[in-house]
Amino acid sequence: EPLLPGRHRSTEALIFLRVALPFIAGFFVSYMYRAVNAVLGPTLAVEFGLNAGRLGLLTSIYFLSFALFQLPLGLLLDRFGPRRVNATLLLVAAVGGAWFALAHSATEAIAARALIGLGVSGCLMSTVLAFVLWYPAERLSTMNGIAFAAGALGSITVSVPLELLLRVWPWREAFMLLVGATLAVSLTLWFWVPEKSARPSGASLGGQLRGLVSLIADPGYRRIALAVGASQIASMSLQTLWMATWLRDVAGYGPSQVARGLLAANVAMIVGYLGFGRAADLRARRGLSVLPLLAGGIALASASLALLALGTRTGSLALWCTFVGGSTAIVLSFSLLSRRYPPEMVGRANTGVNVFGFSGMFLGQWGLGAVLDLWPQSATGYAPEAYTWALGLAWAIQFAGLAWLWSGRRLLERPLVTAG
C-alpha cells in the first residue's frame, strides 16, 4: 500500500528497501550508460576513426532509440506495471552492452548503443511510476530528487573512477562490469520487488490509447513537453559529451583534469536534484506551484551557459557546475504532470514528455557535433572557436523553451484531470 502519514518507520524502510531502492539502482545503471562516453569518447574516436559528428551520433543514438520507445513504453507501464516492464527491458540493455563491448566497427557500436538505449528506456519512467504507486503526492518531488541524485552518482562512477580503471584495464573489459550490474538489477526487480499496477480492472488497450490522445490534445501538456525538449538539447547533450571536449580543447585540461571536472559537475547535479526536489515538496505542502522553481533553475542555467558561450574563462568550471545544477530543475516537470493527471495516466504522461526530452538529447549531441565539424580540427581536438557557436546555439534553444513555458504559466497552474 502507498505510504500514509504517521506510518511506522519500519514499514517505510521496508518499502524503500523492497521498492524504491531496486528501481533507483536501475536508474543508477542507466545513467552510467548515458554518461560513459564522456570519458570513453576520445578512445572510441581513435579506435573507430570517428569525427565529431560520428562521435556525436555514436553517443546520441542511445537517446534516439530511448525516445522512439517512450510512447509504447507508457502503454506498457500503465498496463503491466513498472516492475515487469523494467526488469524485461534491462535484459535487453545487458545484451546491448555486451555487444558494444565486443564491437569491431563503428556500425556495430552504434547499433549496440541503440539497443542499450532501448533497454534502459524504462528505468526513469518505471521509477517515477513506482513512486506514484507507493508514496503520497507530497513526497513525490523528494523521491524523484533522490532517484535523479542516484543517477548523478552513476555519472560520477564513470568519471574519475572509470578514468582510473582505464589506466590498468582495457575499456572493453571495464564495460563488461556495467553489463554485470545491469543483469543484477534486472534479477532483483524480478525476484525481490512486489507487484503493483495502477491500471483499473478491465481497462482496455483502446481506452489507454484514447487517454494518450487526450494528453496530446492538452495545450498545457504540449507546452511542458516542448520546454523539456528544448532544455535537454542544451543540458544533457553538453553534460554527457561536449562539456568534456570543451574542457580539453578550450580550457586545456588533461584527461585526469577532465574527469575531475566531470566529477564536480555531477556533484552539482546531485545538489540540484536533491535541492529542487525538497524545495518543490515544501512548496506543494503549502499549496504553491512548483513552476516558478522550475523556471528559476532553468534561468540560472541559461545565464551560466550564455557566459560560457560568450567566451568567459575565469571561473569556467564553476559556471559549468551552475549550468548543470540549475538544469536539474527540469525534473520538476514530472511533478507537474503527476499532479495534473490521475495515477493510471502517469506512465503515458511522463513517457510522452520523455519523447521530447530524449529527442532533444539526441539532436543536441549529434547537432552540436556537426557544428564543431564545420571548423578544421586542432592538433589535440576540435577548434576552440567552434564552441562559441555550438554553445550559443544550445543556449538559444534552452532559453526559447524557458520563455515558451513561462508564457503559459496561467494555463499550467490550472488543474486538469482526465480519465482514460
Q: Does 420 score more than 60 pLDDT?
A: no
Task: Give the DSSP per-residue string, 333-387.
Answer: HHHHHHHHS-GGGHHHHHHHHHHHHHHHHHHHHHHHHHHHTTS---SSSS-HHHH
H-only helix segments in 120-254: 123-134, 140-157, 160-165, 171-191, 205-217, 219-237, 243-249
**Given this model, what pLDDT does residue 1 score?**
44
The answer to whether 60 touches 361, Cβ cutoff 8 Å, is: yes
What is the C-alpha separation between 158 and 99, in angstroms, rounded?
19
| Rounded Cα–Cα distance for residues 368 and 392 (Å) | 10
Q: pLDDT at residue 347 above 60?
A: yes
- Please give the pLDDT value at position 96: 98
- Residue type present at position 333: S
280: pLDDT confidence band, cut at 50, 70 and 90? Answer: confident
pLDDT tens for residues 70-103?
878 877 887 888 999 999 999 999 999 999 999 9
Q: Residue 391 is placed in which grid cell?
A: 554553445
Q: SS3 of 73, please?
A: helix
Q: Is the pLDDT of residue 211 over 70?
A: no
Considering 33-42, 66-75, 142-151, 293-302, the range whose residues carry the highest mean pLDDT is 293-302
Contact 277, 142 (CB under 8 A): yes
Does residue 203 have a pLDDT over 80?
A: no
Which pLDDT score, from 0 to 100, does residue 204 have?
A: 54
In percent, the amount of the chain with pLDDT more than 70 equals 91
Average pLDDT over residues 152-173: 93
